[in-house]
Amino acid sequence: MSIRPVILIVPLISLAPAQAAPLATYSCPAGTAGPHAAGVVLPTGMKSATGNPARDLHRVVLSDPAAICNDGSPGVYYVRPGTTDPDKWHIHLMGGFSCTDEASCAERWCGDASGGASLSELMSSDWTPDAAFFNGFADGSPRWGAANPLDGWTQVVVYYCGSDMHRGRAGATTLGGMDLDFAGGHILEATLRDLQTGTVAVDTDGDGLDESVPDLDYATHVLLSGSSAGGVGAAQQADRIRGALRATNPEVPFRVVVDAAIIPKLQNWLTPAEAETVWTGFYNDQSVWLADTDDSCLAANASDPWRCEDAGFVVKTALATPVFVRSDLLDFLLFDGVDAVVQDAGYAAITEADYASYMADRLDEIATTVVSSNGVAAGAYGPMCRRHVGITREDAALFQLMEDPGVQLTFVDAVYDWMIGTGLNYSQLVDDYAVAEADTLSPSFLWLDSCPY
């Protein structure tokens, strides 16, 4: 059986000789809402500033001319200096889908004719506020007494405005009638360089006096993370970032958390040839970004580079960096994506039971076989709560519990235990599941407190 790639290969791509024209000049299709009007627009997972210095992160605008958003506006990141553990760092890559051709990028910028909202806030920094709040791992003062062992760390969120999974190096690019920039890799690189200067300062409490951000070169621990599109970016960029940081801080412990970015192996439903066709389509589409891809994976698969578009394959076979993976066994968004691929190949719709089982198998495989170059076993967290991302969701990060005999751990607790070591040694937790009927998962096989809301 032959299939077509799930995303169309871009037929004509040209690199413009100069910086791309702002997307504001693009003529949106009739019937679409168009990009947002002036004012602050916040992407999913990012909230208005609370006014609490322990919770808010503050915007820093990058000056590197290569580190720009799709529309040519400057890349930005958000930071909050640590309090009790300022030399421990958590650096998070935001998610938010991606685009690879004029049709998908126009829908992202303009919205769609059926009334779908624009995601132009993920293609520009023009709508970003001076300060913002991020739930989950970056929350320094969680509600309802929730514990966050990362609350005193220096927190960084790399704003996602390149539509390229934080991997793009193409710069100015023409897609049909649209000019835009793909520079997510440059934004990430410029953010790290900025934080290595020791000169960054932000006003954390509104008193008009800036507080210095610690120098990343003197970090005692660095945890990189990414969710969804940012999770793919984290997997692909981890070893590159590890090398850059260790060039000036050779002994720094560096680890990565890949959240909501790994799917079951497509070969569970497709033939190997069909799965290759799908991943080759993704690989060809994303070449428009001149995307950063894990170097070790590409070197080991020179004749089959498409394999390296699968974040799960990169994590399983290529990363030197210690890795922790989280995927909800019934992630509604990834489930729908895999289902679309399988049905596009001419097969019946996938079942929740199969998806959950195959997702658990993949997490178990990573957790039981992957060991980093310095001997650290992989961690895994696999709840079954129909959530997508975990790191920036309050419930999924701080309240949802996974249980092993004698201990219950939240996602953030499991990561902290794996990163720092608390003696619990429960960093490989994947939920049980059972099939009541052919397409129904029995809720009795969820832990009682696993899905709080």
pLDDT score at 38: 78
Q: How confident is the model at residue 453, as a pLDDT?
A: 54
- Indicate if the pLDDT at residue 324 is higher than 90: yes
Q: Which residue, 448, 411, 443, is CA-closest to 426?
A: 411
Residue 150 to residue 28: CA distance in whole angstroms: 43
Higher pLDDT, 411 or 7: 411
Mean pLDDT score, 223-239: 99
297 pLDDT more than 80? yes
The Cα 148–Cα 184 span in angstroms is 29
Residue 426 has pLDDT above 80, yes or no: no
Tell me how far apart the 2 most distant CA atoms of the chain are, in Å.
Answer: 66
Mean pLDDT, residues 204-225 taken together:
95
pLDDT given for residue 374 in this prediction: 84
**pLDDT, mean of residues 313-318:** 98
Question: Of how many residues is the chain composed?
Answer: 453
From 52-61, 286-295, 407-416, the region with the lowest mean pLDDT: 407-416
Q: Which residue has the higher pLDDT, 45 or 309?
A: 309
The encoded tokens of residue 370 equal 């992957």
For residue 404, pLDDT over 70 is answered with no
* Cα gap 314→335, rounded to integer Å: 20
pLDDT band for position 3 (cuts 50, 70, 90):
very low
Confidence of residue 452 (pLDDT cuts 50, 70, 90): low
pLDDT (tens digit per residue) in 150-173: 999 999 999 999 999 999 999 999
pTM of the model as a whole = 0.91
> Chain-centre distance of CA 40, in angstroms?
22
The token pair that represents 136 in the structure block = 């989950």
93 Cβ contact list (under 8 Å, min separation 6): 158, 160, 166, 188, 224, 225, 226, 227, 230, 231, 233, 234, 237
Average pLDDT of the chain to the nearest whole number: 89
pLDDT on residue 11: 33
| Distance between CA atoms of residues 77 and 151, nearest Å | 19
Confidence of residue 409 (pLDDT cuts 50, 70, 90): confident
Confidence band for 352, pLDDT divided at 50, 70 and 90: very high
2-16, 117-131, 207-221, 241-255: the lowest-pLDDT one = 2-16
Structure tokens, 207: 């008193």
pLDDT (average), residues 220-246: 99
Judged against a pLDDT cut of 80, whether residue 370 lies above it is answered with: yes
Task: Identify the residue with better confidence: 292 or 399.
Answer: 292
* Arithmetic mean of pLDDT, 332-354: 97
In the structure encoding, which two tokens stand for residue 60, read together?
Answer: 């820093």
Q: With 90 as the cut, is the pLDDT of residue 340 above it?
A: yes
pLDDT tens-place string over residues 22-77: 688 899 988 999 999 878 899 988 999 999 998 999 999 999 999 999 999 999 99
**Spatial separation of the C-alpha atoms in residues 391 and 176, rounded to whole Å:** 36
At 16, the pLDDT band (50, 70, 90 cuts) reads very low
Domains of the chain with bracketed CATH: 13-445 (3.40.50)
DSSP-derived letter for residue 19 is P
Higher pLDDT, 160 or 145: 160
Q: Is pLDDT at 257 greater than 80 in this prediction?
A: yes
Q: How confident is the model at residue 19 (pLDDT cuts 50, 70, 90)?
A: very low
pLDDT tier at 113 (50, 70, 90 boundaries)? confident
Q: What percent of the chain has pLDDT over 70?
A: 88
Backbone angles phi, psi at 431, to 5 degrees: -65, 150
CA separation for the pair 62, 153 (Å, rounded): 22
Low-confidence winner among 350-364, 368-382, 400-414 (lowest mean pLDDT): 400-414
